[in-house]
Amino acid sequence: MQNSGSQTPRVRHRRRSSEVVQEASKANGMLVNDQNKYRSMLIRAYSTVWMIAGFALVIYMGHLYITAMIVVIQIFMAKELFNLLRRTHEDRRLPGFRMLNWHFFFTAMLFVYGRILSQQLVNTVTTDKVLYKLVSKLVKYHMIACYALYIAGFVWFIVTLKKKMYKYQFGQYAWTHMILIVVFAQSAFTVANIFEGIFWFLLPASLIVINDIAAYIFGFFFGRTPLIKLSPKKTWEGFIGASFTTMISAFVLASIMGRFRWLTCPRKDLSTSWLQCDPGPFFRPEYYTIPRLFAEWFPWKEVAIMPVQWHALCLGLFASIIAPFGGFFASGFKRAFKIKDFGDSIPGHGGITDRMDCQMVMAVFAYIYHQSFVVALTLSVETILEQILMNLTLEEQQTLFMKLGQIINETITAES
Amino acid sequence: MQNGSSQTPWVRHRRRSNEGVQEASKANETHLLVNDQNKYRSMLVWACSSVWMIGGFVLIIYMGHLYITAMIVVIQIFMARELFNLLRRGHEDRCLPGFRMLNWHFFFTAMLFVYGRILSQRLVNTVTSDKVLYQLVSKLIKYHMIACYSLYIAGFVWFILTLKKGMYKYQFGQYAWTHMILIVVFTQSAFTVANIFEGIFWFLLPATLIVINDIAAYFFGFFFGRTPLIQLSPKKTWEGFIGASFTTMISAFVLTSIMGRFQWLTCPRKDLSTGWLQCDPGPLFRPEYYATPKWFPEWFPWKEMAIMPVQWHALCLGLFASIIAPFGGFFASGFKRAFNVKDFGDSIPGHGGITDRMDCQMVMAVFAYIYHQSFVMGQNLMVETILEQILMNLTFEEQQTLYMKLGQILNERMTAQS
């Protein structure tokens, strides 16, 4: 029953098929005292290397492929989570009920990605007149189409309500909605960030991975004091060590990543070609002279720091302090419903949702941070003018001009 | 245990405190309204509550956009309270002090987020005259999203820190339940408020159609109801359903022509003031004249009809209100059965709780908003969003600079084309 491939060092119980004798010596449960920790670390490291390599390849290939990767991850996550609270006995009596989950999944996917990628889609087809008209119509009626699909699912649900199965069906309905909201909110924000520049996806994701790995290693070597009852294998030493490591790597990684146009330029359409752009004020290094205090032993006379590195520090702070709560939430959830792992797709790590739990919290924060502090600061007369000229037709520009004129006139008369 | 005042004619069982003898005679009968002896008495209670609700509603409409929004906020608070209480279990709750606070924390965060987003533009327009307030409000709006997110994360962390051994399942269940309630309650009220500021018409018409559909279904069922409609709500009948559909669509057409004449109802509100409104109602509300077709009977008094384009839109709204919106009611009925609850609450005599009245309204409000965005306002969506961005993020001087530059570019284009 226990699968040796689906162990993480952080689950409550650790059993291997032929090592019952270990349990007696594991009364303490801490990683430091475990004899076989090196073996589990090897399995875990192996999976990690593959995941990171695959990830790097997809980053190299570009925005569209990253989005595709996220969609695939989403589908697997949704499948894991849909299956989690399903009860096969009830399900046998409700044929076609699983279809409903996937119907809502498809509707949510259409809605979320349609909204995020609509502008990019329009920009991709500007050259072809027929396609442009078609795409514009699709974008215009996108919301009502998604709503119609949702209502169809809603009506279908009500019509298939079966006597005595009401509670199960309503529970499943609520569960489906919660899953879709959790899965799609974070992936929507992730994809939105990607098209603003791969940097804004890559940095937060890397910070979570670094935080994870650093916490594991610090806990491995120094872990003594338990952190939280929910996850007994986490330790304060691991937590604090990982926090420092994360913040330092945020600062350093941002300066490395900020040099590549591939990572910092926003993608305006759905092409996969190379990117050229003016990276913007955030990625231009500013030069600071080292204060006399450090000048003696510090090899450089002045330091080039990009403004984005300060933002990276904030992201690092969040990744080390708050994002682990996503992991605690998932642990608590698994305990509440008595599950060991969400799935067992990844050897040494559990299911895909087990890997994504902290990433989800971080992705949402990264998007909101970006919208509030990065985009808002770069909104100026030039950028909005550029938006107007690029996104609106001539008639719409003239309408905008008229309306803006009216509003300005009203404000002037109101003030005087 | 059964409360005589929390009956609706559409619940499964109907019991009154001292009418046990009725039950025996109802054992074999169907529960259709036509066969019930005391239906007239219950109808009186129901009618009394209805009159009061409609009267209060009309008064609020007269007072204006801001007061309607306030009414919606109050309704929301009551709905949320009813729904929060519904699946709470007293025993577990005693072991978790402060857990109810978490619900209201999330409620407050959702309220701040939703109304801040919808009313931000109006708020800015209200304070444009005062420089200091304007700066303050602009800053608030700029950091609105991150503020709401911080509040949400604070609640999330609080939830995790207060997880108690042995209570995990209950707490996670409550957490999910809270989220579902807030999403359901706030989505529809957000859309309702957004519609109100586009013009009270777009809130009043859908709401009225639901009420008319309800009342018409009740009366048609009362007099003609024979064939049951759906297992979930045994008192609903096909006769009621179809009669109500026709009534709703006809009243949609007629009501629109009446409502469309009042600028108070058709003009959008650009700020948060409460004064009188003047505006150009737009092409939708200008009557177009059609000559009466030849096949209309001789006695038809008018030779030509004035029909506003909005009346065709109203027909679509009426169609939705009669066919799809009742499914909101079926959903609520199924939900009540699933969890063995009679009514969501008992605030309104004859009708049940507030959620019982709002179940169809919620479905309608969302549709009305999406319909409005797609078919009525669809043309200028992009323009509106960019305009909003301009007004929210640029100072007045920057707006003027933008205006000048845009003017220059457009002029260049015009001369280049000609």
Contact call for residues A51 and A346 (beta carbons, < 8 A): yes
- Tokens (6 digits) for A13: 């119980």
Whether B154 has its CB under 8 Å from any CB of chain A: the answer is: no
Q: What average pLDDT does the structure give for chain B?
A: 80
Please report the pLDDT score of residue A10 as a whole number: 46
Whether B183 has its CB under 8 Å from any CB of chain A: the answer is: yes
B131 to chain A: closest CA residue = A415
CA B193/CA B345 separation, integer angstroms: 24
pLDDT digits over A343-368, tens only? 777 777 777 777 788 888 898 899 98
Tokens 């929390």 sit at which residue? B6
Is B2 a residue whose pLDDT tops 60? no
Is A88 a residue whose pLDDT tops 50? yes
CA B129/CA A413 separation, integer angstroms: 10
- Measured between its terminal Cα atoms, the distance across chain A in Å is 80
pLDDT digits over B368-390, tens only? 998 988 888 755 566 777 777 77
What's the pLDDT band for B12 if we cut at 50, 70, 90?
A: very low
Q: What average pLDDT does the structure give for chain A?
A: 80
Set of chain A residues whose Cβ sits within 8 Å of the Cβ of B406: 385, 388, 397, 400-401, 404
- Tokens (6 digits) for A324: 């682990």
Contact call for residues A304 and A285 (beta carbons, < 8 A): yes
CA A384/CA B393 separation, integer angstroms: 10
CA B224/CA B218 separation, integer angstroms: 10
CA distance B325 to chain A (A): 10
What residues contact B416, with CB distance under 8 A and at least 6 apart? Answer: none
Indicate yes or no: CB of A166 within 8 angstroms of CB of B142.
no
Is B22 a residue whose pLDDT tops 60? no
Portion 289-308 of A in contact with B at CB < 8 A: none
Set of chain A residues whose Cβ sits within 8 Å of the Cβ of B183: 177, 181
Is A415 a residue whose pLDDT tops 90? no
Indicate yes or no: CB of A401 within 8 angstroms of CB of B403.
yes
Most confident range, picked from A17-26, B325-334, B398-407: B325-334
Mean pLDDT of the B97-114 span: 89
Query: CA nearest B48: which of B101, B87, B5, B95?
Result: B5
Beta bridge partner(s), residue A350: A346
Higher pLDDT, residue A380 or A238: A238
- Tokens (6 digits) for A403: 């309306």
pLDDT digits over A217-248, tens only? 898 888 888 888 888 888 999 999 999 999 99
Is A20 a residue whose pLDDT tops 50? no
Is B24 a residue whose pLDDT tops 70? no
Interface test with B, best of A158, A164, A317, A357 (most B CBs within 10 A): A158
pLDDT digits over B284-337, tens only? 788 888 777 767 666 667 667 788 888 889 999 999 999 988 888 888 888 888
Q: Calculate Rg over the CA atoms of chain A.
A: 25
Please report the pLDDT score of residue B367 as a whole number: 92
Whether A406 has its CB under 8 Å from any CB of chain B: the answer is: no
Please report the pLDDT score of residue B396 as a whole number: 74
Whether B179 has its CB under 8 Å from any CB of chain A: the answer is: yes
CA A80/CA A100 separation, integer angstroms: 16
Please report the pLDDT score of residue A316 as a whole number: 94
Indicate yes or no: CB of A401 within 8 angstroms of CB of B386.
no
What residues contact A17, with CB distance under 8 A and at least 6 apart? Answer: A2, A4
CA distance B169 to chain A (A): 4
- Tokens (6 digits) for A40: 């589990």
SS3 content of chain B, % helix, strand, coil (to 5): 70, 5, 25
Is A26 a residue whose pLDDT tops 50? no
* Of B334, B400, B402, Cβ closest to residue A384: B402
Contact call for residues A198 and A263 (beta carbons, < 8 A): yes
Whether B376 has its CB under 8 Å from any CB of chain A: the answer is: no
CB atoms within 10 A of CB A34: 20
Which range among B21-25, B247-251, B274-278 shows the weakest confidence by mean pLDDT?
A: B21-25
Contact call for residues B321 and B253 (beta carbons, < 8 A): no
Please report the pLDDT score of residue B113 as a whole number: 92
Alpha helices in A93-198, H assignment, sequence order: 97-124, 129-140, 142-159, 166-196
CA B368/CA B364 separation, integer angstroms: 6
Most confident range, picked from A93-97, A111-115, B28-32, B166-170: A111-115
pLDDT digits over B161-197, tens only? 888 888 888 888 888 888 988 998 898 889 999 888 8
CA B205/CA B339 separation, integer angstroms: 33
Is B4 a residue whose pLDDT tops 50? no
Beta bridge partner(s), residue B307: B288
Element (H, E) at B235: strand B233-237
Q: What percent of chain A has pLDDT above 90?
A: 16
pLDDT digits over A41-79, tens only? 788 888 888 888 888 888 888 888 888 888 888 888 888
- Tokens (6 digits) for B289: 């004249």
- Torsion, CA A379, CA A385, CA A391, CA A393, rounded to 10: 160
Higher pLDDT, residue A298 or A79: A79
Q: What percent of chain B has pLDDT above 90?
A: 15
Contact call for residues B350 and B42 (beta carbons, < 8 A): yes
* Of A154, A333, A381, Cβ closest to residue B172: A333
Tokens 């000229």 sit at which residue? A389
Whether B142 has its CB under 8 Å from any CB of chain A: the answer is: yes
CA B3 to chain centre: 28
pLDDT digits over B35-62, tens only? 566 777 777 888 888 888 888 888 888 8
Indicate yes or no: CB of A415 within 8 angstroms of CB of B334.
no
CA A25/CA A22 separation, integer angstroms: 5
What's the pLDDT band for B32 if we cut at 50, 70, 90?
A: low
Is A25 a residue whose pLDDT tops 50? no
